Structures are given as structure tokens and as C-alpha cells.
Structure 1
Amino acid sequence: MEARLFQLASFTSRRFAGNPAAVMLFDSDPPSDLCQALAAENNLAETAFLVPQGEDYRLRWFTPTVEVPLCGHATLASAAVVLERLAPEREQVVFHSASGPLTVRRSGIGYVMDFPVRRCVPADAPAGLSEALGAVPEEVVWDGFNFVARLASAEAVRRLVPDLAAIARLPAAGVIVTAPGEGDHDCVSRYFAPAKGIPEDPVTGGAHCALAPFWSERLGKTELHAFQASPRGGEMWCRLRGDRVDLEGACLFYLEGVARW
């Protein structure tokens, strides 16, 4: 068996930065156990599996250990594959996913994804959170999947060296750590999800479905320029539209070929 395989870096215009994603193209739905095995073999934060559905595509995302309900950077990468390699005459593509239909269109920066908002609610910090992070959050909220921990400064976010084993034991998919931004960035963040097989995600679209409304409320603005301060680093532009958020970023091709097994 074989499938076309692409590897791209999302949310960056610089080589060897942003978040790497694999995109695999199939003619029909591959079984879940095969998807999981291929994602583990690719060993990236996420592998996207694309299957044509008329003019649209079905889309699933797998980390090396689990299937996830939403992934921003692998959706951005999938859109680049469709709009740059499979159908370069098109201006947009619709992906049918576990999070509903997701439309991605071309933009001046790269591509704009139309994603669902994740509203945060106040939450008590779970036992061991401060110890796991090595920092005491000024505020903790819950986005339905992850704890969001606000620190005092961007520098505090950058210098974190968390205990990943302790984070994996917390009752959440992961922990988003964030603070007000510096320079032309409105906010900075990092995302740790070792329980999903992702010790630190380099740049996370799904996290910004929560960070966009979180910082919109605190900064009084609906358009945000966000930076994720992982070692690779990456940026995106977020625009709130009610219960939806536009996430805009660039994408670079790195590898193209055929996987055989």
C-alpha cells in the first residue's frame, strides 16, 4: 500500500521554524489503526489524513498516540497541499471533520482558517499545576479541553522549564501558558500536552481558538497578533467573529514523496 506524503511547517515564513505537520492523501478512508500507526511512524505533533469528498475533503488528525478532535497547524498544512499541489486554481477548500466543516481560503499572508471559538470559564487550579509549571499563574481558566494559565509576563512564559511528567498527570488534555505580548504581538503562549504524545507543541491553532476570546476580553480588541514562544516559534493573526475565529498564517513545504508499507 502507498499514499502521497507531504511535510510542511505551519505558522511561519522562516525555514526550520513553525510547527511541522505531515499530510497524507488517500483515495478512501483508511482504518483508524492504520492512521495511528502512520502518525506514530511520522513522529510529528500531528499527521493529517485527507480523503476527497466531491470538491471537498474529509480530514482527521492523529498525534503519535491519539486521534484529536481539532488541529490548526495540520489543517493549515492540508490547505496548502490542496491549494498549491492538488488544485492550484482554487481559492478555498472545505474540510469535513470531527469539529464540523472548516473552510480555509487564500490570503495575503498565506491562508485563513475559519475555526470554532472555545470560550474559557473560570476554574480552580488543579492540584500540582504550579509545581508542574515551575511558576504560579495569576489566573487559571478552562477551555473545555485544556487549562489556560496566565503568567505575569512574556519573559515568564519564555523561561518556563516545566515538569512534563507532572503535566501529563493533570486532569486535562494539556496546559496553555500565556501572557501579554511584547512589541507588535498582543499575546504570547506555549502549549504542553504530554498526555497526547506532544511534550511541547511548537505552534498551536486549536489553542488560539481559546486564546483569541480570552485576550479579546482582556485587551478590548477583536483582532490579535499572537506569537507562540516555543523553541521553534511561530505566529498567527486571530480575528473574532462571534462564535467563530479566523486564524491566519503562512505555510512552507519541506518534503514531498510517497509512503509505502
Structure 2
Amino acid sequence: MECPVVVHEGQKLNKMAAIGQKWVPLYQVDAFTDQPFGGNAAAVCLLGDEPQELTDDHLQKIAAEMNQSETAFICKLSPQDDFISSSVFRLRWFTPVSEMLLCGHATLASAGALFYVIKNPSSQLTFQTLSGDLFARREGDFISLDLPENKSQPQDGGKYKDLIKATIGSFPVQEVRFCSSVGGDLLIRIPDSITREQFEKMTPDIQGMMAAHQEEIRGVIVTLKGSLENGCVDDEGVQYDFVSRFFDPWSGLPEDPVTGSAHTVLASYWAKELGKTEFYARQCSQRGGVLRVRLRGDGRVDVKGQAVVVTTGKIRI
């Protein structure tokens, strides 16, 4: 998806000489939280006409420099567009080590930067991505993402027994599933009797996960049905429909704090298990995050959360 550099006859363009001469806006946004330093942080970089000067390798180096779980790059579609009045943009996501097919929290963070810092007045933004068009709508203090549903299939746990063991240790397994469409997520459900406290204390063997990794796996989702009995409730005592954690140490960070894309898999699974289509969910990482999720009947999932801009600045490219 690299944008080409056009060199006219008789001209010579030294790309690397151009790179490093410009500064572009950069923000750090905490997604799926209403408080700074919660949820999942993403770096958001606004690229105007610069994409034609930046190779994929250079974008990857910027993401490695940011060292966030994901860095989002928002690009204008044409020179006539601008970040304030336009409503359609190109969006790409990079971890510190690779480009991603889909990233929910960095999409929410990107919309937050455009809505709250740039003051884009649009009620809905469209992002053209490797996963197709994604939409971000304002809904009061929330941003609702319109993402593709990703269905999982039952999986023989024996194929991934070493990876499962490294991820959940001695916790029993209730069900194992696999979703290929989101880049390869292994879904592990643990029994309802496990408490939230036990779940949050679960400590994967990261080296064991690295050793047991198989090429088709993007990440491992571990999920638990919420109930009053197992303590899966918020600070006001309201029960979560389900809770989860997401591990992907091969992307450069052991655990993703809040994973919007994983909830496109979880929504599809829990809709069948719970007989409902709207969910109140929590991702139980150390930072933690709360999501409102709705499975629609058209193959799409609405993932709703809040976003807080915590850093504004510029990066030299």
C-alpha cells in the first residue's frame, strides 16, 4: 500500500534527504476510557502530502520509535482534502514490528484526535483500510466504531495445546475456537466459576507463548462469562456480560490493554451463547477498558467507547 513517488524526467529525488526535514502532528490518545492513563494508548500521526515521501519501512520505523501497541497513520485522499473539513481518510496501523489488518482501539484514537483536537465537525468519519471501509460516529461523549463481524469456528484444542498451556497455565478450558478473518485469533473460553480476581491475576508464560506460536495466530483471546457470583461487575455493581484479555507477544508487546478488533470476534461468539446482541464488556488488563458492543444483523459490529487525548505534539519525519 506504499504510495509511489513520481520523479519527472531530468529530476532526481533523494527520498532520504527529504525525510527528516518536516514535522507533522502527532497525538497520543487513550482509547476505551474516560480517564487519562487508562484504556489502550495509541499514537496517531496525521500525514498530509507526506505519504508520497514515506515508504512502508519508514512508517514501520516511526511505529517502532513510538513503541505503542499500535501507531495509526491518517492520510488525506487528495491534496484538496484537509483534516478539518474532510470526512473520508486513508488509515493504516502499525505495531512496533508489523502492519496490522485491523485495529479497533487505534481507529477510535484516530477519530478522537480528529474530533477533539482538530475539531473536525463531521458526525461520521470514514476510514479506508486494509479491512475495508470503517466508520466512526459521534454519539454524545462516545465514539461508535462500525467494524466487520468476525466469526470463529470450533477448534480442536490439541493442535494448540502448548500455546494454550503457556497462555492460561493451570486454568481449565471450556471451549477453544479459531477466527481466521481478523488475522488469526485463537479464542479460549474458561469456566464461569473462575472469578474476575483470579482472571486478572492469570500470568501467561510469555516465553512459552513465543516458543509455541504458530504462523496463523495473530493473538490469543481469553474470555469469561460475567456474573454477580464471579465478581465481573463494574464499580457501581453493574454486571459485565463478558470479560476478556488479549495476548500477542509476537507483535512486540505481551498483552494488549484493550482490543477493539477482538470484540468483533467476541460479539459473534457471545451472541450465540447469551442469546442477545448488545453487550457491556470489560477487558481486564492492568490498564483496563470498558466497551459497549452491538452485533448487528448485517455482518457488522458496533464497538463504542470513549477516548482521551493525553499528548499533543509533532514528530520529525
Give yes or no for TM over 0.5: yes
Once residues 67 and 157 of structure 1 are traced to their aligned partners in structure 2, the CA distance between those partners, rounded to angstroms, is 30
Structure 1 residue 174 displacement after superposition: 1.1
Q: What is the identity, as a one-letter code, of the residue corresponding to 1:257?
A: G
Q: Give CA-to-partner distance per residue, 1:79-135, whole Å, 9 cap, x none.
A: 011122334322111000000010101012410000001101001121313420212
Question: Larger radius of gyration, structure 1 or 2?
Answer: 2
Gaps of 5+ in 1: none
Note if contact 1:111-1:248 (Cα within 8 Å) is conserved in structure 2.
yes
Contact 1:109 1:248 in 2 (8 A): no
Counterpart-to-counterpart distance in 1, 2:119 and 2:57 = 29
TM-score relative to the length of structure 2: 0.80
Partner amino acid, structure 2, of 1:45: S
Structure 1 segment 1-261 matched on structure 2, within 5 A: 1-28=22-49, 29=51, 30-53=54-77, 54=81, 55=86, 56-125=88-157, 126-133=160-167, 134=169, 135-144=171-180, 145-152=184-191, 153-155=194-196, 156-168=198-210, 169-171=212-214, 172-181=217-226, 182-183=232-233, 184-242=239-297, 243-261=299-317
Mean Cα displacement is larger for which, 166-175 or 190-199? 166-175
Post-superposition offset of 1:27: 1.3
Letter of the aligned partner of 2:74 in structure 1?
Answer: L
Runs of 4+ residues deviating >6 angstroms: none
AA aligned to 2:176 is: V
Specify every segment of 5 or more residues in structure 2 that has no aligned partner in the other structure, as ranges. 1-21, 227-231, 234-238
Counterpart amino acid of residue 165 in structure 2: E
Normalised to the residue count of structure 1, the TM-score between the two structures is: 0.96
Number of equivalent positions = 261
Give 1 or 2: higher strand fraction: 1
The Cα shift of 1:154 comes to 4.4
